[in-house]
Amino acid sequence: MRLGPLFFGTTAVATASSRTIDMRLMTYNIRLAVGVGGPGEELWSVRRPLMISQLNYEAAGRPEALMCFQEAIYPQVQDLDEGLGNEWTYVGVGRDDGAFGGEFSPIFYRPSVWKLEKNATYWLSETPNEPGSVGWDAALPRIVTVARFRHDSSGARIVFMCTHFDHIGQEAREQSAHLLVGLADEWSTHNNKSLPVFLGGDLNVTPDNPAYQTLASDMYDAKHMVPEERRFGHVKTYTAFTVDADDDTEIDHIFVRDPAGLDWVSFAVLNTRFEDEIFISDHRPVVVDFKMPSQAEARHLG
């Protein structure tokens, strides 16, 4: 397992150019909109304005922020798009049909800051290019959204992957992890340059699960790239809409394929319940901040 640390922290880039990009990545399972809420769960119409306020706050003053979401059905994607405002847009499709059906795993970005160069959706199955395909022992279709962005002012590139693993099938989770490792490798170069590739999502696995360990053997959990004194908030990311900490689990993660050259700033698992006692979601958002070299400092291969 790659826990890797401080070697890739501030000292690793001390001699590099000061031309860096302040990055924030977020992954957030927003909980799909249901007609009747379960115990502790408010309807989306109640949760929506709270979530929009939280997202706008967390992205304020961070023009390079990229945010990925899970469990968002199309009306919720539209709500996020409207609530974040005209400066934002998104990439992603529904998992049922590759269009508008079923849950999305969308990636939101500011097109004035990032130019979307390439994107794709893969199904986590034996036939990843077949819309709606269900893999192995999974209960439902599962997808990963992959997008390559170019920073408009510097030309720097980054790849962000957003996924939601199956909640039932262990084989599906393990095979999905292998598939994503391969995709991360496939997307990791452009014009003979190595690109930073990040994976965010609700993986439905804790760190002791073989699927997590498959990812951690070829990628790095961003949490462990940040020194402990610069981590904030919770450890567990899923609450089950209860205040009982025994119900909480750590299943939402952000991974990076190659942390070389990145200056890790902070990591957080944020709160989703305040004095109004309304859970914004049954998951907590996971956030990582880091500095990324400009295009001029990008690493050439060979």
Predicted confidence (pLDDT) per residue in 233-278, tens digit: 999 999 999 999 998 999 999 999 999 999 999 999 999 999 999 9
Write down the pTM of the prediction.
0.92
pLDDT value at position 19? 87
Encode the chain in three state secondary structure: CCCCCHHHCHHHHCCCCCCEEEEEEEEEECCCCCCCCCCCCCCHHHHHHHHHHHHHHHHCCCCCCEEEEECECHHHHHHHHHHHCCCCEEECCECCCCCCCCCECCEEECCCCEEEEEEEEEECCCCCCCCCCCCCCCCCCCEEEEEEEEECCCCCEEEEEEEECCCCCHHHHHHHHHHHHHHHHHCCEECCEECCEEEEEECCCCCCCHHHHHHHHHCEEHHHHCCHHHEEECCCCECCCCCCHHHCECCEEEEECCCCCCEEEEEEECCCECCCCCECCCECCEEEEEEEECHHHCCECC
pLDDT digits (tens, 9 = 90+) for 118-145: 999 999 999 999 999 999 999 999 999 9
Instruction: Spell out the CATH class of 6-294.
Output: alpha beta
pLDDT at residue 2 greater than cutoff 70: no
